[in-house]
Amino acid sequence: MSNWDVFLAPYKQAVEELKIKLKGIREQYQMSSKHTPIEFVTGRVKPISSILDKAKRKNIPLDCLQDEMQDLAGVRIVCQFVEDIETIVQLIRSRSDFEIIEERDYIMDKKPSGYRSYHLVLWYPVQTIVGEKKILVELQVRTLAMNFWATIEHSLNYKYSGEIPEDVKDRLQRAAEAAFKLDEEMSQIRDEVKEAQRIIIRKQEEQGKT
Ligand code: 0O2
Ligand code: 0O2
C-alpha cells in the first residue's frame, strides 16, 4: 500500500459523518423528552497495524481490503437496555442514506468467547472530489453491559496475544453470564419505570376529569 492516508481518508470521513448523524438521533430523542435508545456513540478507523494483522490472519490481499475487510471503518452505538438495540436496528434499517448488506446477531447467537453485540455492515457513500465512493462500514450496537464485557475481554486478548489462559477464560465466561443477567434485570426495571409513568399519566387524566 503506497499511501495509507489517502486510502483511509474516505473511511475517516464516513466515521465522522455517521457519528454526527447518530448523535443527531440522540439529540432528537432528548428534545422530544422520550427515552433515548442511544447512550453514546464512538467510532474509529482501524489502526494500520491492526489492518495488517487481520489481513494476514484472514488471508486478505492488501489490494482487496476495500471489499473484504468490513471493519476498516467502525462505529459503535451503546445503549442502556437490550430493547433499545431493536429500536436502533429498526431505525438504521429505515434509513436511505446507506445500504445494509449484512446483519450479524451475536445477541441471539453469542460468540463462543461470550461476546454479545448486534453487527450491521453497510455500503456507505462518501462524496469525494472525484465523485461518490461507496465504502464498507461496520456498525456495532450493544448495551453498556455488553460493552463493558467486550472492552475488558478485548484488553485481555491484547495482553495475552489472543491466547487467554483457561482459568481467565472461565472467569470471562462467568462475567459474560453476569453481564447477560444484568441486562435482564435492567430490562425488568425499565418495564417498572414505564408502568409507573403510565400510572402517573392515568392519575393526571383522572384528576383532570374531576
Ligand atoms: P459527549 O458530550 O461526552 O457525549 P468524538 O470525536 O470525541 O466525538 P470519539 O473520538 O469516538 O468521539 O471519542 P471516544 O473517546 O471514543 O468517545 C466518544 C464519546 O462517547 C465521547 O463523547 C465520550 O464521552 C462518550 N463515552 C465513552 N464512554 C462512555 C460511557 O461509558 N458512558 C457515556 N455516557 N459516554 C461515554 P463525546 O462524543 O465527546 O461527547
Ligand atoms: P477491533 O478494532 O480490535 O475491535 P473476526 O475479526 O474474525 O472475529 P469478523 O468476521 O471480521 O470477525 O467480524 P465480526 O466478528 O462480526 O466482527 C469483528 C469485530 O467484532 C471485532 O473487531 C471486535 O470489535 C468485535 N468482536 C467480535 N468478536 C469479539 C470477541 O469475542 N470479543 C470482543 N471483545 N470483541 C469481539 P476486531 O477485528 O477485533 O477489531
**Phi then psi dihedrals of residue 99, to 5 deg:** -120, 130
Distance 33 CA to ligand 1 centre (A): 21
DSSP-H helix ranges across the chain: 4-31, 48-57, 65-68, 82-93, 144-159, 166-209
Per-residue confidence (pLDDT) for residue 191, from 0 to 100: 74
Ligand 1 nearest atom to the CA of residue 39, by list position: 34
Q: What is the CATH number of the domain that holds 133?
A: 3.30.460.10
Ligand having the closest approach to the CA of 72: 2
Q: Is the CB of 104 inside a 6 Å radius of any atom of ligand 2?
A: yes
Which H or E run contains 143? strand 131-143
The arithmetic mean of pLDDT across residues 88-100, rounded, is 98
Domain span at 59: 4-209
The arithmetic mean of pLDDT across residues 58-64, rounded, is 96
Tell me how many domains the chain contains: 1
pTM of the model: 0.88
User: Closest Cα to residue 146, out of 85, 104, 86?
Assistant: 85
Using the predicted structure, report yes or no on whether residue 2 has a pLDDT greater than 80. Answer: no
Pocket of ligand 1 (CB under 6 A): 19, 39-40, 42-43
User: What number of other Cβ atoms are within 10 A of residue 45's Cβ?
Assistant: 20
Q: Is 138 a catalytic residue?
A: yes
- Arithmetic mean of pLDDT over the chain: 92
Given 39, 102, 103, 138, the catalytic residue: 138
Residue identified by cell 500500500 is 1
- Give the mutation target among 15, 21, 42, 77 for probing the ligand 1 site: most ligand atoms within 8 A of CB: 42
Ligand having the closest approach to the CA of 146: 2
Using the predicted structure, report yes or no on whether residue 199 has a pLDDT greater than 90. Answer: no
Ligand 2 nearest atom to the CA of residue 74, by list position: 2
Using the predicted structure, report yes or no on whether residue 210 has a pLDDT greater than 70. Answer: no
